[in-house]
């Protein structure tokens, strides 16, 4: 089997490394891995460590003869790649090839692939880190993690994507692209914007720094670190995630703002803050978290 990676950062690189584990099942055991990226940095590192068989100098050279193509760039890059695979690069595709991706949003790319007649099945490994690049990848990143597999369009083979997930140690989860985007907006994308907004509120924005920030930063400990971790991630990736999931994310932001307004009402009550009411809300939130696996 030949697998082509278009993009080879943290997630794509982790997939490639996972496929080199000694217990990888057929048909992925011993697969030929080839990759292309705009800079070539990730593929050079991957080839040097023996993860890749070959570096492609341009996308057509990577996809030529591939049985599976993995789009592993930011969401908008994946959308553009899907467009070109269904258009000008179609003649380089092997009959029966399936294209998948590992981006954080699914509906936009699925619509593009469907319109282009591309044999596509979306994928999203539910694992990541705030660091980026191939060097940050880890072949064990997906161990026992969900790997969302969305609906096939254009004759794509969902079984191939499920087997890829299993080969990487993950648990395939079938989910429609639109529903996937609503769910991850809640548990991934809203937390990202919440983390960024917290930094902006305390440290200031890009054009106006808070005068208290230097002293506050000197006092910051685990709570600050944990709640701002997502704000340390790849800014371009975060922007493209938000742009390709804007409707679902905006709806949740409105709900989030409503909850913030309720807390403001408690804190600014004419009779003074009500500790019992606030304790009730805090306890209810902790209880909700206890319901999650």
Q: What is the mean pLDDT of each run of 10 residues along the chain (293 residues)?
A: 97 98 94 97 97 97 97 96 96 96 97 97 92 92 97 98 98 98 97 96 81 92 95 92 97 97 97 97 93 64
- Give the pLDDT score at 177: 98
Superfamily of domain 180-291: 6-phosphogluconate dehydrogenase C-terminal like domain (1.10.3660.10)
Cα distance between residue 190 and residue 259, in whole Å: 13
Burial per residue of 272-286, b for 16 or more beta-carbon CB atoms within 10 angstroms, e otherwise: eeeeeeeeeeeeeee
The C-alpha angle 55, 60, 61, rounded to 5 degrees, equals 35
Q: Are 212 and 72 contacting, i.e. CB atoms less than 8 angstroms apart?
A: no
Residue 186's pLDDT is: 97
Task: Name the β-bridge partners of 259.
Answer: none
Q: Show the tokens assigned to 114.
A: 């469907």
**Kind plus residue range of the DSSP H or E element containing 61:** helix 59-63
∠ CA 134-76-57, nearest 5°, is: 50
The yes or no reply on domain 2-175 and CATH 3.20.20.140 is no
Domain extent listing, the chain: 2-175, 180-291
| DSSP tag of 209 | B
Other Cβ atoms within 10 Å of 254 Cβ, number: 9
Q: 35 has which bridge partners?
A: 5, 55
Are both 2-175 and 180-291 of the same fold? Answer: no
């Amino acid at each position: 089997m030949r697998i082509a990676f278009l993009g080879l950062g943290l997630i794509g690189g982790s997939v490639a490394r996972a496929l080199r584990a000694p217990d990888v099942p057929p048909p992925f055991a011993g697969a030929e891995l080839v990759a292309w990226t705009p800079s070539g940095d990730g593929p050079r590192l991957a080839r040097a460590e023996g993860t890749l068989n070959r570096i492609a100098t341009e996308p057509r050279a990577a996809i030529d003869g591939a049985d599976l193509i993995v789009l592993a760039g930011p969401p908008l890059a994946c959308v553009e790649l899907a467009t070109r695979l269904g258009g000008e690069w179609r003649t380089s595709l092997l009959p029966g090839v399936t294209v998948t991706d590992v981006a954080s949003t699914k509906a936009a790319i699925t619509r593009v692939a469907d319109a282009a007649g591309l044999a596509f099945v979306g994928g999203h490994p539910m694992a990541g880190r705030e660091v980026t690049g191939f060097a940050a990848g880890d072949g064990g990143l997906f161990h026992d993690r969900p790997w969302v597999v969305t609906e096939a369009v254009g004759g794509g083979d969902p079984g191939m994507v499920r087997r890829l997930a299993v080969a990487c140690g993950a648990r395939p989860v079938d989910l429609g692209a639109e529903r996937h985007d609503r769910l991850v907006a809640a548990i991934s994308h809203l937390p990202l914007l919440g983390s960024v907004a917290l930094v902006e509120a305390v440290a200031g924005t890009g054009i106006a720094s808070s005068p208290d920030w230097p002293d506050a930063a000197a006092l910051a400990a685990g709570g600050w670190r944990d709640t701002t971790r997502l704000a340390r991630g790849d800014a371009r990736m975060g922007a493209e995630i938000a742009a390709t999931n804007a409707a679902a994310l905006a709806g949740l932001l409105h709900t989030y703002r409503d909850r913030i307004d309720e807390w403001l009402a408690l804190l600014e009550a004419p009779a003074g803050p009500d500790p019992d009411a606030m304790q009730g809300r805090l306890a209810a939130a902790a209880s909700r978290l206890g319901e999650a696996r």
